[in-house]
Amino acid sequence: MTEMIPVREAAKRWNITERRVSTLCKNGKIDGAEKQGKRWMIPKDAQKPADQRIRTGVYRKAERPAKLPLPIGVSDYCLASSEYYYIDKTMMIKDFIDERPMVTLFTRPRRFGKTLNMDMLRTYFEKSDRDTSIYFNNKKIWTCGQKYRDYQGKYPVIFLTFKDVKFNTWEETFAAIRDIFAKETRRHKELQTSEKCDEYSRQIYANLAAGKTGEVELASALLDLSAMLHSHYGIAPIIIIDEYDTPIQQGYMKGFYDKVIQFMRNLFSGGFKDNKHLSFGFLTGILRVARERIFSGMNNLAINSVLDNKYSSYFGFTADEVREMAEYYGAADQYDEICQWYDGYRFGRTEIFNPWSVVSYFSSECEPRPYWVSTGSNDIIGEILAEADKEIYSRLTSLINGETFTTYIDTGVIYPQIRSNPSTIYSFLLMTGYLKVLKTMTSFSGDIMCEVALPNREIALVYNKEILQRLGNMIPQSTAIAIQEAIFSGDNHRLKTQIQMLLTQSVSSFDTAGENFYHGFMLGLCALMNGAFATSNRESGDGRYDIQLKPIRKGLPGILIELKAEKNCSAEKLKKLSETALKQIEDKKYDTELLSAGVTGIYKYGVAFSGKKVEVTAG
């Protein structure tokens, strides 16, 4: 029988990447290669295929046209659409012109293209000394007819972004907002000497431009600036505010929530409510923050959340857009992998990929990693989870197992509800991108009920890092360390003792818990461990293991844990149940994935639960 080796070993022998070896296997370039489960295995004596890219010893780069760079972190529409690979979202402009709501609020998770889209709207609608139509004449909106082209370059625009307003005090926050207004005011330098503005208005302009305004004056800045632009141009401006709720979130986290809410309420009331100097308004954010009456009395406000169908395809990438992008960058055969990692969001009825992660994936030579987790602070998630009870913990950990549940969703959730009503965690997680909606229904009382799940593999890893680890306050650190030491030393007796102690100290809900709860309980413990990557319910060998810990560094052992649970077990029956769990690991060859990854030394545990009793058998 031919001895087979994994992709990793072949890659080392041939001095090429593992991805290149896998691609050669897929393309039938390696004789005798076969897929075992999800991994390729290669005959030990297989020869490295000739590199078809090389001819007469010279790599012929000239035969390949240069690819456009990827727009990582680029939120300037003119730059993104002319010098980078740009996915055309300009039909958003047509949809808006067809509807023309006075004020539109878009709520989406961070890094889903809000700022770039707002800059696109600014560039399209804004009057300018230069011809900005050149950034649209090869885009979809330009093919829609003269009716839509007539809007291009028609309006003065006030554009403010609060995405970087993240300070520890209200005084610093106010100073930052005042500075943003000053810079935007100076951008409209034509008002400084405009004969169509009276002396009083020009003084207001001077104070705004110099940053010499107090809270009362700045709260009316949108109204004052829009009135001046209306007078000067003879047409009311468009007001765009990007990431309006960033200072509000910061205010909640740092203790000046009431101050920032009061200011924003006055600012938006002057700018958007019954403002005769407004043509249209756009706002973006993560949350709607409805109950704080920031938008009080604004019956001209159209809200588009992740649950709404309108504009659903314009924030994030659609499946067709990702396929086209993969083809362009020569990675069409990686589409399934992209789906597993970054697909799964559903805005309205549209399937959406995480745009930041997809772009980062291609930029990193198609290496799948959780790119989104490193793009910003998740302090608010930690605040939410600090209030989580045992039921919420059980539900969150069940998601890692691929389960779903139905819950009430409040699209107008506000920050103070975190402490008064911890169940609002699911609304926050949905709005912030940690959950996806599978199905939406309306209850008899008119409430929105959604069946929710994890979107993809990236978010499963984010849960391990950002969510399960933040639940560590429910498990004493000394206990977590002791359990980790027991698991990685193969000490099943100590492992049993520590788990038993933790169960005994816990609430009575354990007495009626089922296997799903214990699965989440153990997965939560494993997620707290350093030096290993925890996965759950993945195929390996002839079935799906419960929990696997794959070491991050060489020299550490791999861990496999199989769980069983029954009610009212005797000590003898519980022991047999743990032995059955261990035998299942052996019989189903759950160690296949670890072995093919070159892990040496694998500890296997059969763990059985019954109420607060536990038994552990090691192998």
* Long-range contacts formed by 136-145: CB under 8 A, 24+ apart: 136/90, 139/81, 139/88, 139/90, 140/88, 140/90, 140/91, 140/94, 141/90, 141/91, 141/93, 141/94, 142/90, 144/91, 144/94
Pairing mode, if any, of strands 345-347 and 350-352? antiparallel
pLDDT of residue 173: 98
Task: Kindly report, residue by residue over 305-335, the tens digit of the pLDDT.
Answer: 999 999 999 999 999 999 999 999 999 999 9
- State yes or no: pLDDT of 63 exceeds 60: no
What are the structure tokens assigned to 567, written together?
């009610």
pLDDT of residue 57: 40
* pLDDT band with cut points at 50, 70 and 90 for residue 528: low
* pLDDT band with cut points at 50, 70 and 90 for residue 51: low
- State yes or no: pLDDT of 132 exceeds 90: yes
* Strand order through the sheet with 448-453: 405-409, 448-453, 436-442
The CATH code of the domain at 77-304 is 3.40.50
Sign of torsion over alpha carbons 578, 580, 586, 589: negative
Strand segments (E) across 117-199: 157-161
Query: How far apart, in whole angstroms, are the C-alpha atoms of residue 593 and residue 580?
Result: 21
Task: Kindly report, residue by residue over 410-441, the tens digit of the pLDDT.
Answer: 887 777 776 667 668 888 889 989 899 999 88
- State yes or no: pLDDT of 509 exceeds 50: no
Burial (Cβ within 10 Å: 0-12, 13-18, ≥19) of residue 486: buried
pLDDT of residue 267: 95
Query: How far apart, in whole angstroms, are the C-alpha atoms of residue 538 and residue 545?
Result: 6
* Other beta carbons less than 10 A from residue 98's beta carbon: 10
- State yes or no: pLDDT of 59 exceeds 50: no
Mean pLDDT of 242-267: 93
| Contact (CB, 8 A) for 617 and 606 | yes
Query: How far apart, in whole angstroms, are the C-alpha atoms of residue 507 and residue 509?
Result: 6
* pLDDT band with cut points at 50, 70 and 90 for residue 278: very high
pTM over 0.75: no
- State yes or no: pLDDT of 64 exceeds 70: no
Domain ranges of the chain: 4-63, 77-304, 319-371, 379-460, 475-618
Where does 528-590 have alpha helices with state H?
A: 571-587
pLDDT of residue 247: 95
| Contact (CB, 8 A) for 256 and 173 | yes
- State yes or no: pLDDT of 162 exceeds 50: yes
pLDDT of residue 513: 55
pLDDT of residue 379: 65
- State yes or no: pLDDT of 523 exceeds 60: yes
Mean pLDDT of 263-277: 93
* pLDDT band with cut points at 50, 70 and 90 for residue 510: very low
Radius of gyration of the chain (CA): 29
Query: How far apart, in whole angstroms, are the C-alpha atoms of residue 39 and residue 60?
Result: 32
* pLDDT band with cut points at 50, 70 and 90 for residue 619: confident
pLDDT of residue 473: 57
Task: Kindly report, residue by residue over 354-380, the tens digit of the pLDDT.
Answer: 999 999 999 999 998 888 876 665 666
* pLDDT band with cut points at 50, 70 and 90 for residue 153: very high
Rounded to the nearest 5°, which phi and psi values hold at 531? 85, 0
Query: How far apart, in whole angstroms, are the C-alpha atoms of residue 380 and residue 372?
Result: 16
Which region among 88-92, 257-261, 470-474, 570-574 has the lowest average model confidence (pLDDT)? 470-474
Which region among 38-42, 223-227, 295-299, 506-510 has the lowest average model confidence (pLDDT)? 506-510
pLDDT of residue 28: 81
Higher pLDDT, 397 or 204: 204
pLDDT of residue 148: 97
- State yes or no: pLDDT of 466 exceeds 90: no
Q: DSSP character for 522?
A: H
pLDDT of residue 378: 60
* pLDDT band with cut points at 50, 70 and 90 for residue 381: low
Higher pLDDT, 305 or 539: 305
